């Protein structure tokens, strides 16, 4: 499976705990968290990666960064720290642009 987010999360096949949502972006608690706080922020349309926007325009970047910023601010306020990460190439398991908002301790 190349796009867990479209195939499972956005389709509703895999239930998730919603953190925030807009018309174009969705944020939810990771289904297999690697950190004690692990939230994923994704566009609601398929966007392959940060460097390959596919059919989406650059405005999707503003939407996803705005949501990541909002979620990170809430995590920072609650936990005192936040990290925002995106991955590319071999580091990107699901080929759908996504940002991880992390805090606390690694679980692995």
Q: In which band, very low, low, confident or very high, does the pLDDT at 90 lie, cut at 50, 70 and 90?
A: confident
The residue segments making up the domain with residue 84 are: 4-106
Half-sphere exposure of 108 (CA within 13 A, CB side): 4
The CATH code of the domain that includes 87 is: 3.30.428.10
| Structural domain total, the chain | 1
Answer yes or no: are the C-beta atoms of 101 and 82 closer than 8 Å.
yes
The average confidence (pLDDT) of the chain is 92
The tens digit of pLDDT for each residue in 17-55 reads 999 999 999 999 999 999 999 999 999 999 999 999 999
Residue 1's pLDDT band, with cuts at 50, 70 and 90, is: very low
**Banded pLDDT at 81 (limits 50, 70, 90):** very high
Mean pLDDT of 49-74: 95
| 8 Å CB contact between 33 and 107 | yes
């Amino acid at each position: 499976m190349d796009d867990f987010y479209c195939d499972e999360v956005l389709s509703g096949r895999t239930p998730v705990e919603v953190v925030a949502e807009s018309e174009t972006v969705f944020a939810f608690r990771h289904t297999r968290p690697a950190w004690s706080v692990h939230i994923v922020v994704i566009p609601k349309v398929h966007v392959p990666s940060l460097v390959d926007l596919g059919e989406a325009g650059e405005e999707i970047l503003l939407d996803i960064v705005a949501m990541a910023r909002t979620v990170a601010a809430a995590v920072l306020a609650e936990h005192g720290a936040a990290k925002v990460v995106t991955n590319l190439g071999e580091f990107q398991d699901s080929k759908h642009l996504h940002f991880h908002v992390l805090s606390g301790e690694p679980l692995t």
